[in-house]
Structure 1
Amino acid sequence: MKRRSVVLGIGATAGVAAVGGIAVSAQASSETASDSSSSSSSSDGLVFDPDGYTEITTTLTDTGGTAHDVTYHFWKAITYVSKPVDEKYQSLIVSVPVEIDGKAVDASNAPIVLSNVIAGYVESSVAAATGIGGAAMGGTPPTGGGGPSASPTASASATASPAPPSGGGAAAMPQMALLAGYVVVEPGARGRTTTDSAGEYYGTAPAAIIDLKAAVRYLRANKGRIPGDTDRIVSAGVSAGGALSSLLGASGDSPLYDKLLEEIGAADASDAIFATGAWCPITDLEHADGAYEWNWGSNVTQSAGKVVDQTVSKDLQSQFAEYQATLKLRGLKGSGFGTLTARNYDDYLLKQYLEPSATTYLTALSDSDRETYLAKNTFITWANGKATFTWADFLTHVGARKKTTPAFDAFDLSAGENNEFGAGTTKARHFTAYGAKNDTTGLTTKRVASDIPAKLDLMNPMYHLVKKANPKRTKHWWIRLGTNDTDTSHVISANLAAAAAALGDDVNHLYYWDQGHGANIDLPDFVAWIAKVTGYRSA
């Protein structure tokens, strides 16, 4: 049994960063790092070693600014499949609290928070991690084009206002979950930018979701050996990680993935999870271009400062209207809205999400700060403690859109999502008929490849909620989006919420006022929500 007390004095250690309100060590202990190359368990047997941990004592500061002395057990990179394509990415780390502020913690039956930091559908690795919060991007998503934001942390737009107190940060998820007494698992996963010696892309769709499912199977196969309740796994992710988190929840135990999981030697166990946390999910990719244009089509772009091609924008808006009609989704219970269509979705977003979001934000301000804010934002009518405004004024308030058109399946194959659907030595491919038809790169064919439709099903949670209504899906959903987030359309998360609610699932879906892509300003509430939905009560 390996037990070392590695004291990390966070406030005085070199290489310390404040992440989402929590002071986080930059894995600074030379003693811990010295043997990071060894694995905590055998990759062929997929058996978790309960005694293979390092004991770490450190200080973590919560989002309220209070410092806590924490001792936890840490398991270094464990390969979670028996036939890995790349162990650097197909491994996970485990952190289990044993003492917080001098009080012993028994996490043997605590919820397990599966926290990924995947962004831009780029690979993520924990291979070199020597402590909690050790997941790191394996590459940097290209800038420009229509690709999603690379940053998993909160990034407010130019018009954003400071968040009210008791905020958080998506990158702080592992630390906050640990402080709550939960078991924290951080999985790595393959991603779209990696190539092998032959130049073949081995991490494009659906590799990331296959890897996350394999990580869940590893945990569930080790019930009774790994600390925590393997029947209470809660996934959390942001942006592309949020999309994958929602997909993980929607597609639990779907047979569509069985062959691919078998190929990498995933454990013979369930990959269903108990609850999903998804922030600004970049998902429903084959319909994302239309949804984006419906939402932001009239706004100028940040890069060019002008309105995008309106012919293309209107074509895509028409496609969205047709798609939305096929979903036959209804507004959430109590919203007063029936079937959601392209014609009434703006009113639905206003009444169900945007005006309540602004009201919550303004209510939390002091009287003087509220008065100042309203003076600068005269489009808002503030009466009887409620904010009201029009959709057109809201779009003006948000301002420039981030992406050009099409936002996701770019005509020139420059979007990150084009790379996500690459195959073999081909870096990027079209995944919509419209994108392929209007290709500007000189392709000889104007059609999507024959394997694309099946891959889209594997990558879309809506397939498992609307088309198939997967009975093994998660029944608990936490979904968040910033109102100033122009990396995606507001419709995407709202449709996800409506689809889950239509199946009778527990859905907690809110928008953060004036926050941009990756925002997470109520992380303590999410941590409390986990206890509520899992029924967990710490000793």
Structure 2
Amino acid sequence: MKFKATILTVAGLGLAACSTPVVKHENTQPLDFAGQKYVDKTMQVGGQTIRYRAFENIVYVNNPVDAAHETINIYIPEAYFNGGSINGYTAQTAPIFLPNPIGGYMPAKAGVPGQGGFGPHKAGQIDAMQAALARGYVVASPGARGRTAATGKAPAAIIDLKAAVRYLRFNDAVMAGDAEKIISNGTSAGGALSVLLGATGNQADYEPYMQQLGAAPAKDHIFAVSAYCPISILDHADAAYEWQFNGVNNYQKMDASMLDYHAERKLVSGTLTKAQIQVSGRLKARFPAYVNSLNLRDPQGRRLRLNAQGNGSFKNYVASFLRQSAQGQLDAGKDLSDRNWLTLRNGKVRAVNFAAYARATGRQKTPPAFDALDLSSGENQLFGTATIDKQHFTAFSYQHRTDPQATLADPHTVQLMNPMPFIGPHTPPQHWRIRVGTADSDTSLAIAAILAAKLQNSGKRVDFALPWDVPHSGDYDLDELFDWIDQAVKNQNLTKQEM
């Protein structure tokens, strides 16, 4: 049984123990939370005043490479310092919400409540961190290194997030919140890193990097994963994108310099060249072999496969989520007669024309979408090194590179950024929530569908859906998100009590 220190207020400091012993760490700052200073803050949520303590700019490793980004901000409801409870949670039982603010695999500083996030926020609308505090969660938002710095190349960002988790677990006895109930959240590249954080908990492949940083001597698995539109499985994302968008030759492309999704997204229209159309066809042809190699099955146990033309049960599986999303709109009374990719009859979605859906959604990236032949993508920069800013990371793009001097990333590094090899029946966490809007064309729907199927086949509890007409964004359904987290946490607590 886990013991937790009784929480008392210590003016200007962190937390102190009273009735039960606190684990004493030999490490001094930055790994000891008990010595951290805070600032009292308040916010308004739903007409209520929420008081909380802000512990900010905590460096979460002993040997930071980039101290400006390797920090974590921790926010704790004031009620937990005087024996109070919120939403049925106490200082001992409150979940820890771990939102990363990463976009475009760019460097990110630790998040702050009220600064927006990734959703289509309106004036006066709360963000995910504010919503979490109002629900009684402890909020811990880590910053991380990113691709534009020589020290921020892959796998730096995931190493930083894992180190932040280790900091929280290491300080569990002296900090409010239950470190066995950490829930990660992220959007776009941050969504991919949220998935990767969950998939790679306690994996030995990352240990040498953790030791170099001087990460806390603790585990780094988490309880649950929330991921919005994850830009994931990068080494197969080019083929997946062309499987979906092959034949769609007009595009609206965003410049690689705008890949930080906190910024306004400016798109430039264009048409694929003959050479790009040929590349699209070649990449599409590679995708069926990858899908078939995964041996995925749907929830009914049927194999998910594609034939050489890219058709088959896997395509039907992806389309089924579009069908579910559209049916939800019909059931709510929405007129979908203008959607030419749907066959509707008597208030029911009878069929989905996937090719017509791709045309209606529109292509946003030119082939290859991620490993650009001319090294112009943000992901090329992600897989650079301390001395080489950009590299290829797929065999296809390396073989067809426009610069004969361009180099290929280390295969092990590429694997460390792909969650698929690490997902299995004996790896945590059990709870996964993945959302990709039907109006999102930043990556193929196949990527999230593959993740969902792999997770379900590994015995995980997966909540996967395609919200209707939602573009590339996140944190747009906060009530549903935190209802899902509450249910997972409280059901787990009930199960423990019954044991």
Give the alignment's TM-score, normalised by structure 2: 0.83
CA distance in 2, matches of 1:189, 1:384: 51
CA RMSD between the two structures: 2.6
Is 2:119–2:473's contact at 8 Å kept on the other side of the alignment?
yes
Match of 1:239 in 2: 188
Is 1:58–1:70's contact at 8 Å kept on the other side of the alignment?
yes
Is 1:43–1:82's contact at 8 Å kept on the other side of the alignment?
no
Is 2:244–2:444's contact at 8 Å kept on the other side of the alignment?
yes
Shift of residue 307 of structure 1? 4.1
Deviations 1:4-62 (A, max 9, x none): 9xxxxxxxxxxxxxxxxxxxxxxxxxxxxxxxxxxxxx8745111277322212213xx
Match of 1:427 in 2: 389
Q: Secondary structure at the match of 1:261?
A: helix
Q: Secondary structure at the match of 1:488?
A: coil
Deviations 1:234-287 (A, max 9, x none): 100000000000000000000000010000000010000011001111011110
Shift of residue 397 of structure 1? 2.3
- Specify every segment of 5 or more residues in structure 1 that has no aligned partner in the other structure, as ranges: 5-41, 61-65, 137-151, 156-165, 195-200
Shift of residue 85 of structure 1? 0.5
CA distance in 1, matches of 2:28, 2:11: 19
Match of 1:504 in 2: 459
Cα 1:520/1:363, change in 2 over 3 Å = farther
Alignment counterpart, residue 391 of structure 1, candidates 333, 354, 357: 354
Match of 1:482 in 2: 437
Match of 2:93 in 1: 109
Is 1:117–1:135's contact at 8 Å kept on the other side of the alignment?
no
Is 1:337–1:348's contact at 8 Å kept on the other side of the alignment?
no
Is 2:85–2:91's contact at 8 Å kept on the other side of the alignment?
no
Cα 1:135/1:516, change in 2 over 3 Å = closer
1:359 counterpart = 2:327: yes
Question: Which one is further off, 502-511 or 299-308?
Answer: 299-308
- Specify every segment of 5 or more residues in structure 2 that has no aligned partner in the other structure, as ranges: 1-9, 14-26, 253-267, 495-499
Match of 1:301 in 2: 251
Cα 1:286/1:259, change in 2 over 3 Å = same
Match of 1:37 in 2: none
Q: For 1:238-317, list aligned pairs within 5 A.
A: 238-299=187-248, 300-302=250-252, 303-307=268-272, 309-317=276-284
Q: Give the fraction of aligned pairs with identical amino acids, expressed as a percent.
A: 38
CA distance in 1, matches of 2:475, 2:42: 27
Q: For 1:300-339, list aligned pairs within 5 A.
A: 300-302=250-252, 303-307=268-272, 309-331=276-298, 333-334=299-300, 337-339=302-304
Match of 2:416 in 1: 458
Cα 1:519/1:298, change in 2 over 3 Å = farther
Alignment counterpart, residue 403 of structure 1, candidates 365, 368, 384: 365
Give the total of aligned pairs.
Answer: 441
Matched AA of 1:425 = T
CA distance in 2, matches of 1:115, 1:221: 19
CA distance in 1, matches of 2:302, 2:115: 44
Matched AA of 2:243 = W
Match of 2:41 in 1: 56
CA distance in 2, matches of 1:51, 1:266: 17
Is 1:177–1:184's contact at 8 Å kept on the other side of the alignment?
yes
Considering Cα pairs closer than 8 Å and 6+ residues apart, tell me whether 1 or 2 has the greater RCO. Answer: 1
Q: Secondary structure at the match of 1:231?
A: coil
Match of 2:336 in 1: 374
Give the alignment's TM-score, normalised by structure 1: 0.77
CA distance in 2, matches of 1:377, 1:80: 49
1:173 counterpart = 2:173: no
Is 1:79–1:91's contact at 8 Å kept on the other side of the alignment?
yes
CA distance in 2, matches of 1:98, 1:311: 60
Deviations 1:482-535 (A, max 9, x none): 111110000000000111111111111000111111144322111011111112
Matched AA of 1:83 = N
CA distance in 2, matches of 1:454, 1:242: 21
